[in-house]
Amino acid sequence: MQKLIIKGKKELTGKISISGSKNSTLPILAASILADQVRLKNIPLVKDIFTMVELLNYIGLKTKIIKKKNIIEIKNKKKNISTLAPYKLVKTMRAGVLVLGSLLTKYGKAKVSLPGGCAIGSRPVDLHLYALKKLGAKIKIKDGYILAEAKNGLKGTIINFPSISVGATENALLAASRARGKTILKNCAVEPEIKDLIIFLKKLGSSIYMKGRTITILQNKINNTKITHEVIFDRIELGTYMIASALLAKNKIEIDKINPKINKRKKDVLRKIGIQKKKKKSSIIIKRNKKLKKITISTEPYPGFPTDLQAQLMVLLTQAYGVSKIREDIFENRFMHVPELKRMGAQIEIKNKTAFINGPTKLTGAEVMATDLRASVSLVLAGLIAENRTIINRIYHLDRGYEFLERKLKNCKAEIKRI
């Protein structure tokens, strides 16, 4: 099993280029089932993307990854494709469940494995199924599989989500993009990745309008099914490296290949902590005041603070003065990095859904274990600021979502290696 070894306390300097968004590429790959031919640019070469491509191959699409250019080409010309998404592919990558909406709306049926829980929580798919049923699908659960059918196609309707879900909004969008008549989705997730999916579906011929958390999908004319699309940058990767810069860079890192206009947050959390940003057209430089300030914050759906940056923010707050509070309101079990950070010297207490971080504390290297994607990268950040050597086990989680992590950090003079 591979490990990462980090020798901490090295000042970072250089340039980091942000990769394409994993969470944007995954639903767009699922949407590619609806097209004849797709060329996707700026895709990140990470494990979750390879798993999704494997799933598309299994279904019967032809895919070609041009690694040097971060491009995937997809062809869907076969008449008889499989409408099955097997357990072995969906269990390792929950976004596999997104093929449900595309398969059902195009082929009238789908059999997709239930993704099951994962380390950060139970993660049900009831909201996905609620939306598909409203669109007229007949759904049964049998032997761990979702069996969905819409023999006469799906029919547009009004769907009011009882709570906000990124995946359910995406599945509903995919399904509604070929439904008859008008669909109105209310209380939707509005993450930039959802907007990217909408841009892709529009290229496919759908008429889609978004106002606040309401998305309207009109009767669709599927005409142009040969599409080129460039995926947006990964805002979570950007946030991760912004925090790394704030911890270790002293204004000497430029983070580029981004579009600052895409990522409009409700609150500028980093600024509240004492970190300033110098934004350029497609890059950003982080400046840090000497003394970081404590903060109280909750994770929320976009444009609130993302749960996917909670673990990384916590590492930053171990260096802020006073007791900071982070409430995790999206997933029930997303503080698994806390015991590992405590082993490195962090002073953190958890009460119910809130972590209390007492800072600033000196971190020291230890052997730690990664438990999920974002928890893993928080341990990398902790290792970068810790005294001595940190060894991170189970780093396959990192490979699911961070493209060239060691290479990007090494280029900025970090001492990090994989063994």
Site for ligand UD1 in 167-226 (CB under 6 A): 167-168, 189
Site for ligand UD1 in 126-165 (CB under 6 A): 126-128, 165
Taking CB under 6 A as the binding criterion, the range among 245-253, 271-279, 303-311, 348-356 that sits at the site for ligand UD1 is 303-311
Smallest gap, in angstroms, from Cβ of residue 152 to ligand UD1?
A: 25
Smallest gap, in angstroms, from Cβ of residue 85 to ligand UD1?
A: 15
412 is known as an active-site residue: no
Is 308 one of the binding residues for ligand UD1 (CB under 6 A)?
yes
Query: Amino acid identity of 282?
Result: S
* Neighbouring residues of 281: CB distance < 8 A, sequence distance ≥ 6: none
Residue number with CB closer to ligand UD1 (182 or 353): 353
Instruction: Give the number of C-alpha atoms closer than 13 A to the C-alpha of residue 12, restricted to the C-beta side.
Output: 31
Cα–Cα distance for residue pair 254/242, rounded to 1 Å: 9
Q: Where are the alpha helices (DSSP H) in 257-372?
A: 269-273, 310-317, 337-343
The burial class, CB within 10 Å (0-12 / 13-18 / 19+), for 347 is middle
Is 125 one of the binding residues for ligand UD1 (CB under 6 A)?
yes
Please report the beta strands in 76-171, taking only residues with DSSP state E, as ranges in sequence order. Answer: 84-85, 109-113, 138-142, 145-149, 158-160
Q: How far is residue 346 from each of residues 149, 380, 385, measured CA to CA in Å?
A: 51, 14, 12
Taking CB under 6 A as the binding criterion, the range among 105-113, 166-174, 213-221, 269-277 that sits at the site for ligand UD1 is 166-174
The vertex-368 CA angle with 365 and 293, nearest 5°, equals 60
Smallest gap, in angstroms, from Cβ of residue 26 to ligand UD1?
A: 5
Is 166 one of the binding residues for ligand UD1 (CB under 6 A)?
yes
Taking CB under 6 A as the binding criterion, the range among 63-71, 120-128, 198-206, 260-268 that sits at the site for ligand UD1 is 120-128
Number of residues that bind ligand UD1 (CB under 6 A): 21
User: What single string gives the DSSP state of each residue in 326-346?
Assistant: EE--S-TT--THHHHHHHTT-
The strand pairing partners of 159, in sequence order, are: 185
What is the pattern of x (binds ligand UD1, CB under 6 A) and - over residues 13-52?
Answer: ----------x--x--------------------------
**Residue of minimal Cβ distance to ligand UD1:** 167
Q: How far is residue 245 from each of residues 127, 239, 360, 374, measured CA to CA in Å?
A: 38, 10, 17, 17
The strand pairing partners of 277, in sequence order, are: 286
Residue number with CB closer to ligand UD1 (60 or 121): 121
Smallest gap, in angstroms, from Cβ of residue 337 to ligand UD1?
A: 14
Residue number with CB closer to ligand UD1 (163 or 219): 163
Residue 105's H or E segment, with its range, is helix 99-107
Residue 196's H or E segment, with its range, is helix 192-203
268: tokens are: 């500028």
Smallest gap, in angstroms, from Cβ of residue 236 to ligand UD1?
A: 7
Smallest gap, in angstroms, from Cβ of residue 126 to ligand UD1?
A: 5
- The number of residues making up the chain comes to 419
Of 5, 65, 81, 118, which is the active-site residue?
A: 118
Smallest gap, in angstroms, from Cβ of residue 97 to ligand UD1?
A: 8
Residue number with CB closer to ligand UD1 (194 or 285): 194
Residue number with CB closer to ligand UD1 (220 or 378): 378
Neighbouring CB atoms inside 10 A of 108's CB total 16
Which residues bind to ligand UD1, rule: CB under 6 A?
A: 23, 26, 94-95, 121, 123-128, 165-168, 189, 306-308, 330-331
Catalytic residues: 118
